[in-house]
Amino acid sequence: MRDLKEIQLAMQPPMVEGDHDFGTVSDKIGDVTLKKRTPFHWFIGFGIAFIVAQLLMMTVTTLLARGIGIWGNNQPVGWAFDIINFVWWIGIGHAGTLISAILLLLNQKWRTSINRFAEAMTLFAVACAAMFPLLHTGRPWLAAYWLFPYPNTMGIWPQFRSPLIWDVFAVSTYATISLLFWYVGLIPDLATLRDRAKNKYFKFLYGIFSWGWRGSARHWHRYEIAYLILAGISTPLVLSVHSIVSFDFAVSQLPGWHATIFPPYFVAGAIFAGFAMVLILCIPLRVWYGMKDFITDTHLIYMGKVMLATGLIVVYGYAMEAFFGWYSASQYEQFMIYNRAISGPYWYMYWLLLLCNGASIQLLWFKRFRESPFWLFIISLIVSVGMWLERFVIIVTSLNRDFLPSSWAMYSPTMFDWTMFIGTIGFFFTLIYLFVRFLPIISIFEVRTLLPQANVHGRPQDFDESVLAIEETYDRTDPPNK
Amino acid sequence: MKENLYGLLAEFDTPTELVDAANSVREAGYKRTDAFSPFPIHEIDEALGIKRSILPVLIFFGGLTGTLLGVSLQVFVHYIDYPLNIGGRPYLSWLSFVPPAYELTILLAGFTAVFGMLFLNGLPRPYHPLFNVPRFALATREKFFLLVEASDPKYSYDETRAMLEGLDAQEVFDVPE
């Protein structure tokens, strides 16, 4: 019997390590926010992030005062850093929804300890992403009637046949649903913190935001229905959001944008970039806050595998783009690929992109790299850079050499392009640091369900475990169906 | 016999004890009961006789409202209120109306799921008689509780208390109104 158990362990490693019960799980996660002194490195990290975020404030102020001419956008490169960064950030967000919704529907228990901060990451990434198109309008306070359909005195409406307006609906729905999903998951944990907080003010605040949750069976019943259906509707939502983002390009006529492969290729790229960001966040987090019992090495290995799989889909996308360019027999499409990879002014960006997104992830085939948090962290950083380069290659190299050579022009970012981009990274990490300080970074009530004590009558909850239990009652030498 | 009680609350150590106790309480004929646990326990629904919630139906109609809203908004804008002839293309180009209608479906279904759940649960409710029992704070941490309300037709202080104590409860608390 023992060998079967070993196989079982290898197939389904435990998702919570160490000796825990319901109380210690609650304390270990809850005390990070409630009891422990805020560690010194938190102040350093938060301080740096907050200072970097000021670059964003400075850029936005200048932009509102002087207009979007402070950016390097020109004709024909009318979309540059603003849209690159928009797509980059929104793509990062997608891993959070994938982890919280799709993996929930697929009954992947390893999502449980990473879903909370992956969802927070989604929320903050979408906030960063939304800033770019909004500020690209130059006068965001006027953008309301360009973007949202409301009866205004001018009697005009947005154009619903435009992918840009689809994008408005997709991204605002995505932001709202992500917020709701995240908040619903937080309610029982906020109640835990409320009942445990000693500080009067924190107790009051957690009490208000947990809405008086008391863990009633009738409440849990509806709660689980709502949570599952939210997961069910978030799944098509997340796939639609990046598909619609890709329509911004694919619906246009420009060679390099006008490609049918864009929606799946963009969705895979988004998940790829998002898992890289989850790894970048959780590898230091689990060490700093001693969460290795909940975010185990198994979690990191699984995420590495997802990164490898989605990365390969993305590489397939690059291959297909090149193939379509040649196979289309259109001189513009052929020129686009030739220009992108060999003759164009940004050719090195393309090869850098293949190096970052194509070559670097091949290391993940090897156990040595997959099982080393250090290498996973390095590869994730490289992938994040690579995914940014991908959007640069798609947007800038396609725009700057289009149909008519007389309209060709070079693009180079200005200082304000860089400060805005770097500023949003600071803003993102500022929010992440605040989240880590004030809210439970791991879903406490879901981790409780992972413990063996949570099974009523010791009934195993997993199919594989129940198979094991059945097999244990029979002699394995028995012929089947006896 | 005590007056002005909201009900009686029994504390248990494990989910299994809670489910067994809930089964006994239901079989004894109590209707106005509830259980409290730090995480969802699926077996408890059957043990307490909780009926399936109407929430999914509400969510379906929430989503349907979103679809109809999205379609009618776009048809109104591009077909009735402000038709634009662009290269002779049809005014009722329904294919391009799909993405906004789709997103609105999901948006309204999501709103219905969350706010419908909170509404049916009677939340927000910052005060509840149960919070008068100090040990009840552990319901969000590691302990399991079973409540029999005083408004239950079968309730009588002494009998109900004796029954709950007979169910291996750690302790039985009076819940003041």
pLDDT tens readout for residues A407-450: 888 898 999 999 999 999 999 999 998 998 888 888 888 888 87
Is residue A369, in this structure, part of any structural domain at all?
Answer: yes
Residue A13: the pLDDT is 66
Q: Is the dihedral of CA B35, A119, A464, A369 positive or negative?
A: negative
Give the per-residue pLDDT at A2: 57
The per-residue pLDDT for A206 is 86
Whether A319 has its CB under 8 Å from any CB of chain B: the answer is no
Residue A214 lies in a domain: no
Residue A352 domain-assigned (yes or no): yes
Separation between Cα atoms, residue A444 and residue A451, nearest integer Å: 11
- The residue among B35, B101, B90 whose CA lies nearest residue B68 is B101
Residue type, A362: Q
Residue A389 lies in a domain: yes
Distance from CA of B99 to the nearest CA of A (A): 6
Q: Which two tokens stand for residue B54?
A: 């109407």
Average pLDDT over residues A265-279: 90
Radius of gyration of chain A (CA): 25
Residue A473 lies in a domain: no
Share the mean pLDDT of chain A. 84
Q: How far is CA A165 from the centre of its chain?
A: 23
- Distance, CA of A337 to CA of A316 (rounded, Å): 15
When CB atoms are compared, the residue of A160, A191, A195 closest to B100 is A160
Rounded distance between C-alpha atoms, residue A466 and residue A385, angstroms:
44
CA distance to partner chain A, nearest, from residue B2 (Å): 25
Nearest to B82 among A157, A207, A213 (CB): A157
Q: Which of B2, B41, B3, B18 is nearest to B147 (CA)?
A: B18
Res A32: pLDDT: 73
Cβ contact (<8 Å) for A215 and B37? yes
- A365-407 pLDDT, tens digit per residue, is 998 888 888 999 999 999 999 999 999 999 998 888 888 888 8
- With the C-alpha atoms ordered A62, A63, A67, A72, is the resulting torsion angle positive or negative? positive
> Which positions ≥6 away from A193 have C-beta within 8 Å?
A30, A33, A34, A202, A206, A210, A440
Torsions phi, psi for A231 (to 5 deg) = -60, -40
Cβ-Cβ contacts under 8 Å, A191 against chain B: 140
Q: Residue A109 above 90 pLDDT?
A: no
A291 vs A465, more confident? A291
- ipTM of the complex as predicted: 0.89
A156/A438 Cα distance (integer angstroms): 45
Q: Which stretch of A14-18, A49-53, A339-343 has the lowest confidence by average pLDDT?
A: A14-18
- Indicate the DSSP class of residue B91: S
Cβ of B131 within 8 Å of Cβ of A214? The answer is: yes
CB contact under 8 A, A26 and B38: yes
Whether A334 maps to a domain, the answer reads: yes
Q: How far apart are CA A382 and CA A423, in angstroms?
A: 20
**Taking 90 as the threshold, does the pLDDT of residue B135 lie above it?**
no
Helices (H) and strands (E) in chain B, counts: 5, 4
Residue A195 touches chain B, beta carbons under 8 Å: yes
Hey, are the CB atoms on B41 and A217 less than 8 Å from each other? Answer: yes
> What are A42-60's pLDDT values in tens digits?
889 899 999 999 999 999 9
Better-scored residue on pLDDT, A18 or A75: A75
Cα A415–chain centre separation: 27
Q: Say whether residue A110 is in contact with chain B using an 8 A CB cutoff.
A: no
Q: Are A412 and A72 in contact (CB under 8 A)?
A: yes
**What's the domain range around A394?**
254-274+306-402
pTM of the model: 0.86
- Evaluate whether residue A297 is within a structural domain: no
d(CA A255, CA A267) in angstroms, rounded, equals 20
Kindly report the nearest CA distance between residue B36 and chain A, in angstroms. Answer: 4
Q: How many domains, chain A?
A: 1
Q: How confident is the model at residue B143 (pLDDT cuts 50, 70, 90)?
A: confident
- Least confident range from A15-19, A84-88, A447-451, B67-71: namely A15-19
Q: Is residue A14 part of a domain?
A: no
